[in-house]
Structure 1
Amino acid sequence: MSLFLYNIFLFLYGTALKFAAFWNPKAKSWVTGRRGWEAPLISAMSGRSSHVLWMHCASLGEFEQGRPVLELIRQKYPRYTILITFFSPSGYEIRKNYQGADYVCYLPLDGSSTARRFLDIVKPDIVLWVRYEFWYHFLNQLFKRGTPVILISGLFRSSQPFFQWFGRLHRHMLSCFRYIFVQNAESATLLRNIGIENVAISGDTRYDRVSAIAEAFEPLPEIAAFVNGLPVVVGGSTWPEDEEELDHFANTNSGFRFIIAPHEIGEHHLKDIEKLFHNTIRYSKWVKIWKESAFKANSPHVLIIDNIGMLSRLYHYAIIAYVGGGFGGDGLHNILEAAVYGRPVIHGPHYERFPEAIELIEAGGSFSVGNALELEDTLKKLLANSSEYSMAAVAAEEFVRKRRGATHIIMDYLEVNRLLTN
C-alpha cells in the first residue's frame, strides 16, 4: 500500500464512521469521544512531570496485556506522567477512569497534521505500543523525533501486509520501533525474514496479568450464596451464538448453577438471554435479594451478569468455564482468565488466530466444540469422569504458570537500556 492510498483509506474510514454514528452507538461513541480532543489533552498535560510515558491500546484486551508492564513502571518510577490512549470505545469506556494513569483518552484518527499536533502536546519520553494496530503517521513522527517506541506482546501471521509484496508502508511502520517483543518464535522468524532484527521472544504479558488477578482474588459472597455449594458452569464474554449453544444444557440441568456474563450488556441482549434460558435472575436483582436475605431454596439456577468488571473473579467459582467468541467473527475472548484458576475451558471452533487457545488444547486444558451437541457431550464427559476432569484442570493451571515472566523480560530491557529514569 502506498502512502497516498493509506491516506485515502483514513479519509474513507473516518467518513464512514461519522455516517454510521447516526444509528450505531459504538460508532457514535468513537466519533463524539474524539471531538475536540486537543483542549482536554493540553489541560491534562500542562501540569505534567519531566517524564511522560504513553501507552496505546487498541481495546480492552490490549490494555490488559500492557497493564502488567505499566503498573510495574508506575511502582518503580512514580514520577512519570502516564497517558493511555484507546482506539476502540469498548476499551475506553471501561477503562476511562483507570486510576493507574494520569489521563486516558481516545487516540485521534491518524493523519500527518494530527500526529504532529498530538505529539507536540504530549512530548512522550517513551511509548509502549501494545500487540497490534499500526498507525503510520503517529509511528513515523515518533521515529523522526527519536522517541523510543516499544511493541509489547506482538503477534504476527504470514498473511499480514508486512510480509506481502505490497507491504512496504507496513514494513516501514515496523522499522519505527526501537524494540519489538513478540509472543512466539513464529512471529520472531517472520520479522527477521524481512530484516527486522530488533526483536525478542518475551511471551504474552497476559499470563502475568491473570496470575496477579488470581493471587489477589477477593471473594464475592453474593456469588457464593447463589452457587450454594452446587457445581457451576460460567459462560464468560458470551455472544448470542454462544448462548444459543449453551441454553439447552442449562435448561435441562437444573441441579447445576449457570452464570452467564455476556460481552454486551445492553437491555435488548439481556432480554434475549432471558428468553433463551429458563429460571433466570439478573445479578442486580439477585444482589438485592441476597442483601435482604430473601432468597429461597428454589432460587433461580441461571444468573445473568448485567455489569462489567466481575468476570475474572467469577471463573474462580466455576467447575468448568465456557469462553465466548469462538462461534462468531469477533474473536475468542480471554481463556487465560479461567485457566489460571485450574478450570477446564470450552470454546467454539474459531480460535486459529489465538495461539494460547491452540496450545491449551494441545496441553489438554481446553476443548473446542462445533455445536451444541458437542458442547453437551464435552460437559457431560468432564463432569462424569473425575480423572479426566482432574487432568484437564491441572493442565490448565500449569499451562498458565509455566508461561509467566514476560513483564520482567520487558522491564529488564527498558532498564538495561536506560529507557526509564527516576
Structure 2
Amino acid sequence: MKKSPPARMSLARGLYSGLLCLLTPWAQRRLAKEKVNAFSAYQRRGEVSPSERSVIWAHCASVGEVLAAEPFLKALLLRYPRHQLVVTTMTATGAAQVRARLPDARHYLLPLDLPWYAERFIDTLQPEAGVVFETELWPNLLASCRRRRIPLLLANARLSASAMRGYRKIRPLVKEALSAFSLITAKAEEDAARLLALGAEKDRLQVTGSIKYDLQLPEDLPAQASAWRAALGERRVWIAASTHQGEDQPLLAAHQQLLAQDPSCLLLLVPRHPQRFDQVAELIAQQGLSYLRRSSQQPVTPETQVYLVDTLGELLFFYAVADLAVVAGSFADIGGHNLLEPAAVGTPVISGPVLHNFAEIAAALTEVDGRVEVDSASALPAVLAGFWADPAACQRQAEAARQVVLANQGALARQLEAFAHLLPPETSAERETLSPCS
C-alpha cells in the first residue's frame, strides 16, 4: 500500500479531533449499547484482524443502508471473488443484517473516528478499494484512506436541505472529507448541487439515481406473504412501519378508531429500533389492546388486535402481507423512511408530512398519485377506511407507485460501473483459477 508522508493536520480536522477527544467518554458509552460480541470494544478502537486476501471495504451506517446496499455488495462478491469483502456498520442491528444477508463477507463495527484509531484500522485492513454508502463522512478515517491513496467511492450519496444547513457550518471539514473520494455517485441533481456547494469536485461527481429503486425481491416473497395472509382470513390489515418515539401512541389511537368501525381490523406495528420493542409492547398493553409479539412465534388469533413485529429484516415481508402501508418517521422530526419498499411489493403507500430525507422519492410518487400524505395520524382512520371502501382506487395507487419503482431502476448498474473505474473486475481467467479453499 502506497503511503504519503505524514501530512500536517488541517485546522478544521484538528478542531474536530480535539472536540471528539473531549466527547470520547460519552461516545464510548453510547457505542457500548451497540455491542455485537466480546470484540466490539476492540473494533471501536480500530483493532481488527488482517486478511490474507486483498480487501474491498464497504461501509453502511445501519440497517437501512445495509438493505439498500445489499444488491451492490452481492455483486461485488461475484465480480471480485479473489478479494475479501469487509463490511463495517455503526450499529449492532446493521451488523446482524450483514451477517444474515452476506455470509461471505467479514463484518466489523466502525472504529470511533479518532486519528489513531482510524490509522490502526486502515493500516491493518489495507483495503485495495472502498465504498461508503449514502453520506457517512468520517473525516479522520477518510484522511487515513487519502494518505494511503486508497480509491474510494461515495455511493448513493444524498444530502437533504436540512443536512445541508448543518454541513455549511463546518464546510472546510466537509470539503476535506469529500476530497478523499475518487468518485461520488449522487442520487439526484439536488443532491449533486448540494455536494458541489460543499466543495465536491465536479469532475468526480456523477448523478446515477438511487439504488433503492433497484430492490431485488425474493422470488418466494409473494407466495410466503399470501400464505401468511390467508391464515388471517378476511381481516383488514394495515402496517405502521419504522415508528419512532412519539409516533406509536397516535398510531394506536388511530387503530382504536378503526376497531370501532371494524373489530376484526389488525395492525402490524414495526418499531424502528430494537431497544424500543419492550417499551412499545408496554404502550400497547396500556391502551388495552390485545397484542402478540412476532418473536413469540405464536400464530395470530382472531382476538389479536396488534401484531408487534419485534424482529429484524422482515419489513419487506410484512409490507407484502398488509393491505395498506403507513411509513412512519414522517409524523415526527425524523425525515421519513424508505417509501419504495411498500411500493415495490404493490402495497399502497401512506405517509405523514415530514419527508425531507426522501423528498425526491416522495415527489416522484406524488406526481403519479402513487402516495397519499396526511397531516397527522388522526387523519389515518378516514384515509384507510376510504381505501378499503374503494378497492379499485387502492389498486390504481399501488400500480402507479410500482411503476415509479420500475421506471427508475438502473442505478445499481451505473454505480457498479463507477466502482469498476476504481478497481477493475477480475477477469474470467482469474475467477477460474480461484481455489475453492482460498
TM-score range, shorter chain: 0.7 to 0.9
Distance 2:250 2:283 in 1: 14
Q: Which residues in structure 2 correspond to 1:176-325 (within 5 Å)?
A: 176-193=180-197, 194=199, 196-197=201-202, 198-208=204-214, 210=215, 212-213=216-217, 215-217=219-221, 219-220=224-225, 223-251=228-256, 252=260, 253-265=262-274, 266-276=277-287, 278-285=289-296, 287-289=297-299, 298-325=302-329
Q: Which moved more, 1:187-196 or 1:80-89?
A: 187-196
Residues 357-414 of structure 1 deviation map (CA, whole Å, 9 limit, x = unaligned): 2332333222222223321222122222334322211111111111111110112233
- The match for 2:364 is 359
- The match for 1:335 is 339
Distance 1:157 1:76 in 2: 32
- The match for 1:148 is 151
CA 1:175–1:316 in 2, change beyond 3 Å: closer, same or farther? same
Pair 1:121 & 2:124 matched: yes
- The match for 2:69 is 66
Q: Say if 1:74 and 1:100, in contact at 8 Å, map to a contact too.
A: no
- The match for 2:419 is 414
Q: Say if 2:269 and 2:307, in contact at 8 Å, map to a contact too.
A: yes
Q: Say if 2:87 and 2:98, in contact at 8 Å, map to a contact too.
A: no
AA partner of residue 21 (structure 2):
F
Question: Which structure 1 segments of 5+ residues have no match?
Answer: none
Distance 1:65 1:221 in 2: 24
Pair 1:56 & 2:59 matched: yes
Q: Say if 1:65 and 1:204, in contact at 8 Å, map to a contact too.
A: no
Q: Say if 1:281 and 1:304, in contact at 8 Å, map to a contact too.
A: yes
Q: Say if 1:283 and 1:305, in contact at 8 Å, map to a contact too.
A: yes
Distance 1:418 1:177 in 2: 14
CA 1:192–1:334 in 2, change beyond 3 Å: closer, same or farther? closer
AA partner of residue 339 (structure 1):
A
Q: Say if 1:97 and 1:104, in contact at 8 Å, map to a contact too.
A: no
CA 1:93–1:317 in 2, change beyond 3 Å: closer, same or farther? closer
Distance 2:270 2:77 in 1: 31
TM-score, L = length of structure 1: 0.86
1:288 positional shift: 3.5
Distance 1:2 1:38 in 2: 23
> Among residues 2, 14, 25, which one is paired with 1:4 in the alignment?
14
Distance 1:196 1:272 in 2: 49
Q: Say if 2:331 and 2:377, in contact at 8 Å, map to a contact too.
A: no
State the Cα RMSD in Å.
2.9
- The count of corresponding residues between Structure 1 and Structure 2 is 406
Distance 2:116 2:165 in 1: 25
1:255 positional shift: 3.2
CA 1:116–1:328 in 2, change beyond 3 Å: closer, same or farther? same
CA 1:19–1:247 in 2, change beyond 3 Å: closer, same or farther? closer
CA 1:191–1:284 in 2, change beyond 3 Å: closer, same or farther? closer
Residues 148-170 of structure 1 deviation map (CA, whole Å, 9 limit, x = unaligned): 10011001245527973751121
CA 1:20–1:149 in 2, change beyond 3 Å: closer, same or farther? closer
Distance 2:423 2:394 in 1: 48
Percent identical across equivalent pairs?
24
Distance 2:263 2:419 in 1: 53
- The match for 2:383 is 378
Distance 1:214 1:98 in 2: 12
Q: Say if 2:47 and 2:120, in contact at 8 Å, map to a contact too.
A: no
Distance 2:423 2:98 in 1: 29
Q: Say if 2:365 and 2:371, in contact at 8 Å, map to a contact too.
A: yes
CA 1:327–1:261 in 2, change beyond 3 Å: closer, same or farther? same
Task: Give secondary structure in 1 for the equivalent of 2:357.
Answer: coil
Distance 2:150 2:220 in 1: 35
Distance 1:37 1:372 in 2: 41
Distance 1:85 1:195 in 2: 24
TM-score, L = length of structure 2: 0.83
Task: Give secondary structure in 1 for the equivalent of 2:246.
Answer: helix
CA 1:199–1:36 in 2, change beyond 3 Å: closer, same or farther? same
AA partner of residue 5 (structure 1):
L
CA 1:195–1:314 in 2, change beyond 3 Å: closer, same or farther? closer
1:332 positional shift: 1.8
Residues 55-83 of structure 1 deviation map (CA, whole Å, 9 limit, x = unaligned): 01121112222221110111232221011
1:202 positional shift: 1.1
- The match for 1:403 is 408
1:273 positional shift: 2.1
Distance 2:233 2:85 in 1: 43
Q: Say if 1:59 and 1:86, in contact at 8 Å, map to a contact too.
A: yes
1:284 positional shift: 4.1
